[in-house]
A and B are shown apart, each in its own frame.
Chain A
Amino acid sequence: MTKTGFIPVFLYEITKIFHIKHRGEDMEKNKYKDIVEKYTPKEDRTSHGLKAFLIGGLMGVLGQFLLDLYAYLFHIPTTEAAPFMIITLIFFASLFTALGFFDKWVAWAQAGLIIPITGFAHSMMSAALEYRKEGFVTGIGANMFKLAGTVIIFGVVSAYVFGFIRLILFGG
C-alpha cells in the first residue's frame, strides 16, 4: 500500500490520473473482502423463513376468522366484510405500535408481520410517532409515508402492469 521513492510515487500518481486500476489494489480489496466474509456471521435464513411462514400463516388465519366473524355478525357477504377485517388489523397494528411493543414483535417475526397489512400500518404509525414533534405539516405530513410511500408507488405500478397483462392474456 505504501510506496516510497520519487519515481514509483510519480508513476503511481500518473496512472491514477488516467483511472488505471492497479492490480495490487484489487488484490488488496479482495483479500480484505475474504477477511470480512470469514468473520461476518451467517444470518439464520432457515429459522427466519420458518418463523415468517408460521406467523404470516397465522395472520392469514386471523384475517379469515375476522372475515367470517363480521360476515356472520352483520349478515353481510364476505366481500363486504373484507374492509372491516382490514380496518381491524390496521387499527391494532397502529395501536400496538403506539403502545411501544409492536416493533419488538415485528423485529422477531420479520416478514411474517411486515408483508401483511400490519407491516404497512406499522411503518406509517412509527414514522408519524417519530416526527410528531416537528409539526403537523412539516413533521407528520411530510414524513408519514417515508417508508410506506415506496410500497404505495410500486404497488400501484405493479397493479397496473399486471392488470394489463391479465387484460391481454385473458381479456380482463
Chain B
Amino acid sequence: METMLYKNVYLNEVSTIAGPYEKKGPLGSYFDKTYDEFYFHKKTWEQAESKLIEESIDLVLRKLNKTRFDIDVHIGGDLLNQIVASNYAASRLKIPFLGIYSACATSMEGMIIGANLVEAKLVKNCLVTTSSHNNAAEKQFRYPVEYGAVKKKTTTFTVTGGTCAYLSREKSMIKIDSATIGTVEDMGEKDVMNMGAVMTPAAASTIYKHLKNTKRDISYYDLILTGDLGMYGEKMLKEFMEVEYRLKLKNYKDAGTMIYDLDNQPVFAGGSGPACAPLVAFSYVLEQMKKKEFKHVLVVATGALFSPTMTNQKLSIPSIAHAISLEVVQ
C-alpha cells in the first residue's frame, strides 16, 4: 500500500535557513535566518552545507526549549556524494542518525520515515533535516562554478538552504494526515538541463495515487505544492495530468517558481534541490496554514535520480516523488 494514514503525528516546529539568492527572492522575509554569501564562515562549500544542517537543528531545539539529548532519532539527507553534509553534521551532533537519499525528494522521504516511526510509537520524536548548496551541487553535478557554462532556458538553479522539522505525538496546529510513497518513473528523458521534464511523470503518478488511495477530490486540497519542476515543468505537469489521468489540477503551485523572482533573478526556469520544497513549505506555506488561509496542503517533493556516470552511459534519468499531506487541526 503506497498511501499511509496517520492518526497522531504532528509537525510541532520547523526551521529554515537560506542563502543569498533566496534572501532576495519573494519569500526572503519568511526564513528564520539568511546568509549574504556562500561560505557561511567555513572553508569550503561542502562544509558550509554541513553547517546549515547543524544550525537548522540548533534553531529548532532552541525554539522548542529542548536539548539534543531529548531527540530520539535524526533523519537527514542531501545532494552531495555519500550524503556528506548530513553525515558530518550528524557526527558532531551524536543523535541516532538515519541517512537517506532520494535527490530532491529527500525531504519528504525523511518526513514519511519519521512520521511512520512516531505513529508506530517506536520513537517519541524525531528531527528531519534536508539541505542543498548551489555551489557544492554545481561542482559535483555540472561544471566548475567559475566556468561560464552555457545553460538552456529550462535549467534549474539549485537552492541554497537547510531545513529542519520536528515531528512528535504532542498536539500542535499542523497535523501530518497522510503520506504517499512514490514509484520510480522513467519516461526516457535524458536532458540534464531539463529536469522539470524528467520529474513530471513521477509527480503526476504520486498525486494521482494519493488522491485515488485517499478517495479525495482534487478540490479537497487548498494547495498542491510540487518540489522543483520549474516554470516549464509546471505546465507539463498540468497537461500530463489531464492527458494521462484525466485530472485537472486545481490550486497547484511549484516551489521552484515561488522561491525566486523568475523575471529579475538569473535562475532560468526556477529553483531546484532537496531544500527547495521544504524551504517553501516550512516558511510561507506553514505561515499561511497558521493563518488558516490553507487548511489542507499536499506537498509533493520531486527528485531526479540523476548520476553523471549513468547519463554518460546514455541511460535516461529516473525520477521519484513522495507526497505528504498536512492539515490544520484545532
Contacts and interface: CB of A to CB of B under 8 A. Distances in A.
Nearest to A105: B148
B236 A35 contact: yes
A33 B145 contact: no
Report the contact-size class of chain B (Cβ under 8 Å from the partner). 20 to 34
Contacts of B236: 35-36, 39
A104 B145 contact: no
Contact of B244 (A1, A105, A106, A107): A1
B152 interface: yes
Contacts of B188: 29, 32-33
Given A32-B240, A98-B146, A126-B147, 13 more contacts: A1-B244, A35-B236, A39-B232, A40-B197, A102-B146, A103-B147, A104-B148, A106-B148, A107-B148, A123-B147, A126-B143, A126-B146, A146-B144
Contacts of A103: 145-148
B77 interface: no
Interface in A142-166: 146-147
Contacts of A126: 143-148
Select the residue from A36, A97, A106, A126 with max chain B CB neighbours within 10 A: A36
B194 A36 contact: yes
Nearest to A143: B144
Select the residue from B43, B153, B188, B194 with max chain A CB neighbours within 10 A: B188
Nearest to A103: B148
Nearest to B153: A41
Report the contact-size class of chain A (Cβ under 8 Å from the partner). 35 or more
Contacts, number: 83
Interface of A: 1, 28-29, 31-33, 35-36, 38-41, 43, 97-98, 100, 102-108, 110, 113-114, 122-123, 125-127, 129-130, 133, 146-147
Contacts of B143: 126, 147
A100 B44 CA distance: 17
B243 interface: yes
B151 interface: yes
B43 A41 contact: no
Contact of B239 (A38, A102, A123, A127): A38
Interface in B120-157: 139, 143-154
Contact of B201 (A32, A41, A43, A129): A32
Given A36-B236, A122-B147, A133-B43, A43 B152 contact: yes
B146 A32 contact: no
17 contacts: A1-B244, A35-B236, A36-B236, A38-B239, A40-B154, A40-B194, A40-B197, A41-B232, A43-B153, A97-B146, A103-B148, A105-B148, A107-B148, A107-B151, A126-B146, A126-B147, A127-B147
B187 interface: yes
Contact of B187 (A32, A43, A130): A32
